[in-house]
Structure 1
Amino acid sequence: MDVEETLKTDKLIPLESRTIIHLLLINNKICEAMVHALKPFDVSEQQFNVLRILRGLNGKPANLSTLNERMITKMSNTTRLVDKLLLKGYLNRIVCPKNRRKIEIRITPEGSKALEQMDKAVNATQESLLHDFSKEELNTLNLLLNKF
């Protein structure tokens, strides 16, 4: 992706600005592809992330704080994400009767099944986005990105 060409400018953009713009353009391309992959499942990237976090806990419950800490995109509307997934039947939420602020959230069997299907679509999208890269190039790219 040529930044100047994408932005339709004849001016040479300074390297530092060009790098940040390039990362932003790539981020947008990835986000658009992920939204497209998840659209048939009627879930957002953030909802998908919540489901993956809960699956990764292997049946252990999570609370909103745990989910927020592990989210790829940090946000304050985790409660809303959980509520939407509850309506779909993908999560269970248990509120402690003695302390209403203490809640336990788990993925349901229906949520796990749906997540397996989402994984297939997301994996295909990732492969499509990265098909021009070798494993060595991906390792190098990750090493460079770790510097952030």
Structure 2
Amino acid sequence: MKLEEEIKQPKFKNVQQKAVLNILFTANWIQNLQRELFEPYGITGQQYNILRILRGQHPKRICAYELKSRLLDKNSDVSRLLDRLIGKKLVNKSKSKTDKRAFEITITPQGLALLSEMDSLINTLDTRVIKLSSTEASQLNGLLDKCRD
């Protein structure tokens, strides 16, 4: 459905305003679909993002401040998110051997198993949401990257 129909706004100041609103609307739409997918697993999108980053690092450890720099949402309260994931036994946190003020984070076998269980659902969601050919998806990625330059 077109943005104009979704938000019941027939006109925009200019095409750039429409593009910004379209990006925001689409991002919220995707986040809502992800929220529905994550809910049965008892995690949030931010927690999933942390687990995904840790799986990419596995078996290496990552410091909490480096983890925060790699999150999609830079305003996340990493300490709170990690505490919840530790409580669910999905990640481990230990003092850094090189910097006593820092903590190192690793994903647990339970965290890896959870992500493995979710992988096919995430892949299905990605292809369901992005109804574009590989060429179109590459073009979209290029345009979105250009917006942030």
TM-score by length of 2: 0.90
Partner of 1:28: 28
Q: 1:47-86: per-residue Cα shift (whole Å, max 9, x none)? A: 0111111111121111110110110111241001100000
Residue 62 of structure 2: aligned partner = 62
Counterpart Cα distance in 2 of 1:104 and 1:90: 14
- 1:43 aligned onto 2:43: yes
Q: Write the letter of the residue equivalent to 1:140.
A: Q
Corresponding residue number in structure 2 for 1:119:
119
Give distance in 2, aligned partners of 1:98 and 1:126.
Answer: 39
The answer to whether the 8 A contact 1:53-1:67 is kept is yes
- For 2:58, what is the secondary structure of its paired residue? coil
- Find the residue that maps to 1:146 and give its secondary structure: helix
Give the counterpart letter for 1:141 in structure 2: L
Q: Percent identity?
A: 32
Is the CA contact 1:94–1:105 (under 8 Å) kept in the aligned structure 2? yes
Provide TM-score, normalisation by structure 1.
0.90
Shift, 1:103, TM fit: 1.5
Alpha carbons 1:92, 1:108 under 8 Å: kept? yes
CA RMSD of aligned residues (A): 1.8
Equivalent residue for 1:134?
Answer: 133
Specify the SS of the correspondent of 1:92.
strand
Q: Distance in 2 between matches of 1:78 and 1:108?
A: 17
Q: One-letter code of the match for 1:60?
A: K
Indicate the residue corresponding to 2:8 in structure 1: 8
Paired letter, 2:71: M
Residues 1-20 of structure 1 show CA distances to partners (whole Å, capped at 9, x for unaligned) of 3222122234x212121111
Structure with the larger RCO, 1 or 2 (CA within 8 Å, 6+ apart) = 1
Which one-letter code corresponds to 1:67 in the other structure?
L
Does the CA contact (< 8 Å) of 1:38 and 1:121 recur in 2?
A: no
Residue ranges of structure 2 left out of the alignment (5+ in a row):
none
1:98 and 1:142, CA in 2 relative to 1: closer, same or farther beyond 3 A? Answer: closer
Q: Deviations over 1:118-139 (max 9, x none)?
A: 2222111111112x31111111
Number of corresponding residues:
146
Task: Please name the residue that 1:87 is paired with.
Answer: 87
